[in-house]
């Protein structure tokens, strides 16, 4: 297989890893007010993702780094073109990282409530904007002969992209509530299970609309119908298992749905990485079509293939181990007291 | 200001902010791992208490360092898209390696360390903290390989067909002699920062406890912290000087105009002096007006070549040389970096580091032979000088990045043959075309504001937790019962 194609697939895999993993921790963040509800409930929620959210986020850095190394043109056009949405995402990720780490450091209700609000908002923003971004990539945006994006911010806010945003939002909410139903006990689990039923149905409805729209209007390939079916089956499965109370299976079904959805997106794009709505001759491509080849040189791809081949299995192994170590459920009754540290009073 | 200037400001602000936080994480992660190792090996309570005390401070710092690092990676694509197109083939590789090899390691094992105290056996938990520390320091290696490539592009050639710089040899990139010196310089600096942090907070407590009650049981604990931090600082300080000197000599070869600017060396001189102070127009409009006040004879020549009487080229001669060798392809650029910034940042870098090392010597002297100090002047000085290596490191970055201007990829003099195989790029050609000044300006202002607000929280939390002192001893108990809750971190 052509190395550029291999890296196109690998980048799809990295994004899948990111959306599957940070998908549920975004979901948990968004659900703080409605599933967490009480101060103790919120702590249960945060601690359910505590050991892993940072590692989950690295999938984004790796996907971004891999795009930079393997498809510099894609990386450059995408990140400069989608400037404001990415700016908002980065802003949210900064605030979120600090909020999760700092919220419990001071024993003060106002302090915690404000950080919790920050966690919630900063989980909503990327959950919507990632869908908007991917929808626009598939749909095609104005790109000129030098590979430069020429549209403005409002160009990115089209109906297809907005439904795309709702799709990632619905899937993450469903994914997060299912994760919580799997990971907690007691009242938190009951609330999570109740919400999982609603969100998983919502994800099926919104996801179906968006996937069909994508396939009919923007796919370059007929085989992506297969990916669409997998994605749909995953979402329906997640809803089914949520309603029957089998949350382990529901979680796996959601993972299948994300795999199907990313395959659909990347499959629909191929052989482009980013189509130009200005002129097909300006498409950024993997290979073999009119347009600008976006990939790196053969030497770079060979080097990166070795690196990925050696280190990806190691990463998967130790990340899997960390999930194994923290596999137990959490519940409200077992929460320890807060430390007594206040922000202003000096200790003796 | 136009998009170019704003993008440069944003890069500078993000970089300095990121590298204020990161050296502490780099050094402190290893020091905490050493403390925990000492606990596992000796079983002494004080080591576990120190591990937890400084570990908590490490976490507060780490969170903000990560947050700024995300922006660091993505701003290449956002603000510097043309740069990314031109060099992505080669520059993207170390960044991707950093994510895959280092970031996963550090973030996964940090999670395991924070939450794993009562889930993992002592030895496994100790391994976990070391893997975190190794991951952290590995990431510094890859990011320095990327940065060093911008200072001295090797392993690459310009491809006229694709119009970009492409990779020829990854080993040359990872084994760049610029990287091989930058890495130990940055790591030793990180230990200077972390050593100062450990010793400074330790000294505050040591003096406070000693003045309150000479028999306080915590005194040996804080004395250990002071001495450990100070020893680390002395060793690191020697390393900083040694690697810095080697780096300067290499830089005279690789980026002569940067070093000439750093020395305020306008005319080519034999046995050039090193000035501690200079007056005149250092902004570069009129280099002839620069006058050196206090100067050490021959030291600049020594720094450049190891010979006090060597001839060193000045900025005037180099400017002419660069203009013929590296023609600008749009406007005629001025090849001289900002003289005032390079001159002063170079001196401030050295000055703050030297000050930090001096306080470390004072700390060792005052605690020698089992002595315990109760000098309040010392504890005040120690706390205040915690900031010195941080500031020194920041000026080091300002120097190294501003000195690279007007290039974003500085030319490699030894690779220059006929203008075809030499890779270099002027900063003005690296900026994104798709991005307006408004967009860059907005993101610059908002990020800076957010950094500032979060920076206040960072500072206050670190101060609060430092004032709280080392926590009481509590032996971690590993619990295998599946009904037992996980430990709660947040």
Q: ipTM of the assembly?
A: 0.91
Find the residue in A nearest to B208 (Cα). A348
Inter-residue contact A58 to B75 (CB < 8 Å)? no
Task: Give chain B's radius of gyration (CA, Å).
Answer: 24
Find the residue in A nearest to B481 (Cα). A328
Interchain CB distance below 8 Å, B454 and A94: yes
Which of A55, A90, A53 has the alpha carbon at shortest distance from B76?
A90
The Cα–Cα gap between A108 and A79 comes to 39
Over residues A238-253, the pLDDT tens digits come to 999 999 999 999 999 9
Banded model confidence at residue B280, pLDDT cuts 50, 70, 90: low
Over residues A93-126, the pLDDT tens digits come to 999 999 999 998 888 888 999 999 999 999 999 9
- Better-predicted residue by pLDDT, B184 or A342: B184
Among B3, B59, B104, most A C-beta atoms within 10 A, so best to mutate, is: B104
* DSSP letter assigned to residue A272: E
> How far is the alpha carbon of A64 from chain B, nearest alpha carbon, in Å?
8
- A65 in reach of chain B (CB within 8 A): yes
| Predicted local confidence at residue A348, as pLDDT | 43
Tokens at B284, concatenated: 């570069």
Residues 6+ apart with CB under 8 A from B401: B11, B12, B15
Banded model confidence at residue B66, pLDDT cuts 50, 70, 90: confident
Inter-residue contact B308 to B290 (CB < 8 Å)? no
pLDDT above 90 (res A19)? yes
| Predicted local confidence at residue B283, as pLDDT | 55
Mean pLDDT for B471-485 is 74
Over residues A267-281, the pLDDT tens digits come to 999 899 999 988 888
Residues 6+ apart with CB under 8 A from A133: A82, A85, A86, A156
Among A4, A25, A56, A58, most B C-beta atoms within 10 A, so best to mutate, is: A58
Find the residue in A nearest to B463 (Cα). A343
| Predicted local confidence at residue B337, as pLDDT | 87
Tokens at B316, concatenated: 């005037």
| Predicted local confidence at residue B247, as pLDDT | 92
SS3 state of residue A238: helix
Among B6, B17, B78, most A C-beta atoms within 10 A, so best to mutate, is: B78
Interchain CB distance below 8 Å, B89 and A91: no
Chain A neighbors of B104, CB-CB under 8 A: 55, 58, 62, 315, 318-319
Tokens at B23, concatenated: 């050296």
Banded model confidence at residue B485, pLDDT cuts 50, 70, 90: low
Banded model confidence at residue B422, pLDDT cuts 50, 70, 90: confident
pLDDT above 60 (res A225)? yes
Q: How many other CB atoms are found less than 10 A from the CB of residue B383? A: 16
HEC profile of chain B: CCHHHHHHHHHHHHHHHHHHHHHHHHHHHHHHHHHHHHHHHHCCHHHHHHHHHHHHHHHHHHHHHHHHHHHHHHHHHHHCHHHHHHHHHHHHHHHHHHHHHHHHHHHHHHHHHHHCCCCCCHHHHHHHHHHHHHHHHHHHHHHHHHHHHHHCCCCEEEECCCCEEEECCHHHHHCCHHHHHHHHHHHHHHHHHHHHHHHHHHHHHHHHHHHHCCCCCCHHHHHHHHHHHHHHHHHHHHHHHHHHHHHHHHHHHHCHHHHHHHCCCCCCEECCCEECCEECCCCCCCHHHCEECCEECCHHHHHHHCCCCCEECCHHHHHHHHHHHCCCCCCCCCCCCCHHHHHHHHHHHHHHHHHHHHHHHHHHHHCHHHCCCCCHHHHHHHHHCCHHHHHHHHHHHHHHHHCCCCEEECCCHHHCCCCCCCCCEEHHHCCCCCCCHHHHHHHHHHHHHHHHHHHHHHHHHHHHHHHHCCCCCCCCCCCCCCCCCCCCCC
Among A85, A88, A94, A295, most B C-beta atoms within 10 A, so best to mutate, is: A94
- A295 in reach of chain B (CB within 8 A): no
pLDDT above 60 (res A347)? no
Inter-residue contact A308 to A257 (CB < 8 Å)? no
> How far is the alpha carbon of A348 from chain B, nearest alpha carbon, in Å?
8
Chain B neighbors of A343, CB-CB under 8 A: 460, 464
* DSSP letter assigned to residue A346: P
> How far is the alpha carbon of A104 from chain B, nearest alpha carbon, in Å?
5
Tokens at B306, concatenated: 């190891």
The Cα–Cα gap between B231 and B356 comes to 12
Considering chain B, what percentage of its residues have pLDDT values greater than 90?
52
Tokens at A59, concatenated: 């999938």
Interchain CB distance below 8 Å, A87 and B434: no
Which of B262, B247, B217, B260 has the alpha carbon at shortest distance from B472?
B217
| Whole-Å CA distances, B250 to B242, B256, B399 | 13, 9, 15
What are the backbone dihedrals phi and psi of residue A276, each rounded to the nearest 5 degrees, phi first? -95, 130
Inter-residue contact B340 to B283 (CB < 8 Å)? yes
> How far is the alpha carbon of B225 from chain A, nearest alpha carbon, in Å?
21
Tokens at B480, concatenated: 């295998």
Residue with tokens 């798709």: B434
Full DSSP string of A273-340? EE-BSS-GGG-EESSSSSSEE-S--HHHHHHHHHHHHHHHHHHHHHHHHHHHHT-S-B-GGGPPPPP-
Sort strands B164-167 and B156-159 into parallel, antiparallel or unpaired: antiparallel
- Better-predicted residue by pLDDT, B261 or A19: A19
Among B18, B93, B168, B487, most A C-beta atoms within 10 A, so best to mutate, is: B93
The Cα–Cα gap between A89 and B370 comes to 54
Banded model confidence at residue A74, pLDDT cuts 50, 70, 90: very high
Interchain CB distance below 8 Å, A341 and B82: no
Q: How many other CB atoms are found less than 10 A from the CB of residue A273? A: 28
Considering chain A, what percentage of its residues have pLDDT values greater than 90?
77
Inter-residue contact B94 to B148 (CB < 8 Å)? no
List beta partners, residue B269.
B312
Positive or negative CA dihedral for A298, A304, A310, A316? negative
List beta partners, residue B164.
B159
* DSSP letter assigned to residue A152: -
- A183 in reach of chain B (CB within 8 A): no
Chain A neighbors of B120, CB-CB under 8 A: 325
Of A61, A70, A86, the CB nearest to B103: A61
- A110 in reach of chain B (CB within 8 A): no
What are the backbone dihedrals phi and psi of residue B119, each rounded to the nearest 5 degrees, phi first? -115, -25
| Predicted local confidence at residue A245, as pLDDT | 92
SS3 state of residue A179: helix
Least confident window among A20-24, A201-205, A329-333, B332-336 = B332-336
Q: How many other CB atoms are found less than 10 A from the CB of residue B294? A: 10
User: Domain limits of chain A?
Assistant: 18-340
Residue with tokens 């979120």: A96
Chain B neighbors of A50, CB-CB under 8 A: 111, 114-115, 488-490
Considering chain A, what percentage of its residues have pLDDT values greater than 70?
98
Chain A neighbors of B485, CB-CB under 8 A: 328, 330-331, 334-335
| Average pLDDT across chain A, whole number | 92
pLDDT above 50 (res B163)? yes
Banded model confidence at residue B391, pLDDT cuts 50, 70, 90: very high
| Whole-Å CA distances, B255 to A96, A220, B156, B290, B406 | 40, 50, 18, 21, 12
How does B166-186 read in b/e, with b if 16+ C-beta sit within 10 Å? bbbebebbbebbbbbbbbbbb
> How far is the alpha carbon of B488 from chain A, nearest alpha carbon, in Å?
6
Mean pLDDT for A173-202 is 94
Which of B178, B176, B153, B175 has the alpha carbon at shortest distance from B164?
B153
| Average pLDDT across chain B, whole number | 88
Tokens at B410, concatenated: 């500085």
pLDDT above 90 (res B417)? no
Tokens at B471, concatenated: 């926590």
Chain B neighbors of A101, CB-CB under 8 A: 59-60, 62-63, 490
Find the residue in B nearest to A87 (Cα). B443
> How far is the alpha carbon of A238 from chain B, nearest alpha carbon, in Å?
27
Mean pLDDT for B38-59 is 94
Chain B neighbors of A341, CB-CB under 8 A: 464-465, 468
Mean pLDDT for A211-216 is 94
Among B77, B423, B443, most A C-beta atoms within 10 A, so best to mutate, is: B77
Inter-residue contact A78 to A147 (CB < 8 Å)? no
- A113 in reach of chain B (CB within 8 A): no
| Whole-Å CA distances, B178 to B93, B171, B246 | 17, 13, 10
Q: How far is residue B3 CA from its own chain's centroid? A: 27
Over residues B324-361, the pLDDT tens digits come to 877 766 556 688 888 888 888 988 999 999 999 999 99
pLDDT above 50 (res B240)? yes
Q: Which of residues 131-170 of A touch B (CB under 8 A)?
A: 146-150
Find the residue in A nearest to B209 (Cα). A348
Interchain CB distance below 8 Å, B89 and A47: no
| Predicted local confidence at residue B339, as pLDDT | 84
| Whole-Å CA distances, B169 to B85, B165, B257 | 19, 12, 27
CA distance between the termini of chain A: 68
Interchain CB distance below 8 Å, A86 and B97: no
pLDDT above 60 (res B143)? yes
Interchain CB distance below 8 Å, B446 and A91: yes
The Cα–Cα gap between A281 and A147 comes to 11
Interchain CB distance below 8 Å, A300 and B167: yes
Considering A130-139, B293-302, B409-418, the range whose residues carry the highest mean pLDDT is A130-139
> How far is the alpha carbon of A343 from chain B, nearest alpha carbon, in Å?
7
Task: Give chain A's radius of gyration (CA, Å).
Answer: 21
The Cα–Cα gap between A100 and A46 comes to 8
């Amino acid at each position: 297989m052509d190395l550029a194609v291999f890296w196109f697939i690998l980048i799809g895999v990295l994004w899948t890893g990111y959306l599957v993993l940070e998908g549920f921790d975004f979901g948990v963040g968004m659900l703080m007010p409605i599933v967490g509800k009480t101060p103790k409930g919120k702590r249960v929620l945060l601690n359910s993702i505590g050991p892993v959210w940072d590692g989950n986020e690295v999938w984004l850095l790796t996907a971004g780094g891999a795009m930079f190394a393997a498809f510099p043109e894609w990386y450059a056009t995408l990140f400069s073109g989608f400037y404001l949405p990415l700016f908002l995402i980065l802003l949210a990720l900064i605030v979120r990282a600090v909020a999760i780490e700092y919220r419990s450091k001071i024993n003060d209700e106002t302090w915690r409530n404000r950080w919790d609000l920050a966690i919630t908002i900063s989980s909503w923003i990327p959950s919507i904007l990632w869908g908007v971004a991917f929808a626009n990539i598939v749909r095609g945006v104005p790109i000129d002969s030098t590979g430069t994006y020429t549209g403005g911010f409002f160009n990115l806010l089209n109906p297809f992209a907005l439904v795309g945003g709702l799709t990632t939002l619905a899937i993450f909410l469903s994914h997060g509530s299912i994760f919580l139903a799997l990971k907690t006990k007691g009242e938190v689990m009951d609330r999570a299970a109740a919400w999982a039923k609603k969100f998983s149905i919502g994800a099926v409805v919104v996801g179906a609309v968006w996937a069909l729209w994508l396939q009919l209007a923007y796919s370059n390939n007929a085989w992506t119908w297969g990916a669409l079916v997998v994605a749909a089956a995953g979402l329906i499965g997640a809803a089914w298992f949520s309603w029957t109370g089998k949350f382990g299976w529901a979680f796996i079904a959601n993972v299948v749905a994300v795999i199907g959805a990313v395959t659909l997106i990347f499959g629909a794009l191929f052989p482009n990485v980013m189509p130009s709505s200005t002129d097909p001759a300006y498409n950024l491509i993997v290979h073999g079509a009119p347009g600008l080849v976006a990939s790196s040189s053969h030497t770079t791809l060979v080097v990166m293939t070795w690196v990925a081949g050696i280190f990806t299995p190691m990463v998967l192994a130790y990340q899997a181990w960390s999930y194994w170590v923290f596999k137990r459920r959490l519940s409200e009754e077992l929460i320890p007291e807060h430390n007594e540290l206040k922000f202003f009073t000096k200790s003796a | 200001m136009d998009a170019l200037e704003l993008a440069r400001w944003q890069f500078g602000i993000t970089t300095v902010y990121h590298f204020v936080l990161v050296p502490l994480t780099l050094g402190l992660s290893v020091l905490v791992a050493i403390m925990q190792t000492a606990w596992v090996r000796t079983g002494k309570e004080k080591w576990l208490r120190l591990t937890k005390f400084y570990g908590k401070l490490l976490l507060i710092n780490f969170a903000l360092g990560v947050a700024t690092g995300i922006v660091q990676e993505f701003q290449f694509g956002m603000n510097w898209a043309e740069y990314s197109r031109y060099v992505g083939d080669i520059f993207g590789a170390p960044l991707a390696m950093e994510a895959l090899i280092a970031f996963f390691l550090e973030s996964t094992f940090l999670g395991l360390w924070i939450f794993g105290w009562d889930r993992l056996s002592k030895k496994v938990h100790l391994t976990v903290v070391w893997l975190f520390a190794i991951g952290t320091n590995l990431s510094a290696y890859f990011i320095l390989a990327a940065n060093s490539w911008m200072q001295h592009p090797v392993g690459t050639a310009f491809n006229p067909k694709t119009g970009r710089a492409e990779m020829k040899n990854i080993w040359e990139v990872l084994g760049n002699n610029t990287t091989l010196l930058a890495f130990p310089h940055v790591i030793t600096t990180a230990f200077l920062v972390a050593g100062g942090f450990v010793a400074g907070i330790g000294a505050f407590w040591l003096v406070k406890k000693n003045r309150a009650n000479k028999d306080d049981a915590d005194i040996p604990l804080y004395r250990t912290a002071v001495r450990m931090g100070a020893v680390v600082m002395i060793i690191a300080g020697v390393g900083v000087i040694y690697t810095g000197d080697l780096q300067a000599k290499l830089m005279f070869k690789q980026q002569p105009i940067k070093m000439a600017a750093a020395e305020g060396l306008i005319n080519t001189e034999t046995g050039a002096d090193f000035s501690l102070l200079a007056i005149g127009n250092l902004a570069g409009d009129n280099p002839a007006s620069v006058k050196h006040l206090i100067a050490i004879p021959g030291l600049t020549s020594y720094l450049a070549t190891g010979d006090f009487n060597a001839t060193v080229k000045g900025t005037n001669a180099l400017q002419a040389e660069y203009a013929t060798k590296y023609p600008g392809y749009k406007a005629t650029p001025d090849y001289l970096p900002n003289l005032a910034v390079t001159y002063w940042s170079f001196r401030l870098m050295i000055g703050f580091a030297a000050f930090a090392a001096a306080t470390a010597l004072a700390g060792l002297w005052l605690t020698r032979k089992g002595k315990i100090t109760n000098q309040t002047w010392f504890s005040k000085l120690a706390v205040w000088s915690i900031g010195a290596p941080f500031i020194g490191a920041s000026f080091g970055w300002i120097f190294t990045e501003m000195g690279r201007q007007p290039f974003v990829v500085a030319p490699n003099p030894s690779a220059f043959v006929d203008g075809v195989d030499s890779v270099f790029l002027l900063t003005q050609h690296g900026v994104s075309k798709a991005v307006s000044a408004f967009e860059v300006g907005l993101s610059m202002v908002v990020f800076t504001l957010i950094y500032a607000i979060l920076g206040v929280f960072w500072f206050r939390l670190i101060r609060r937790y430092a004032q709280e002192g080392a926590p009481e001893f509590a032996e971690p108990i590993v619990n295998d019962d599946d009904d037992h809750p996980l430990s709660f971190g947040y």
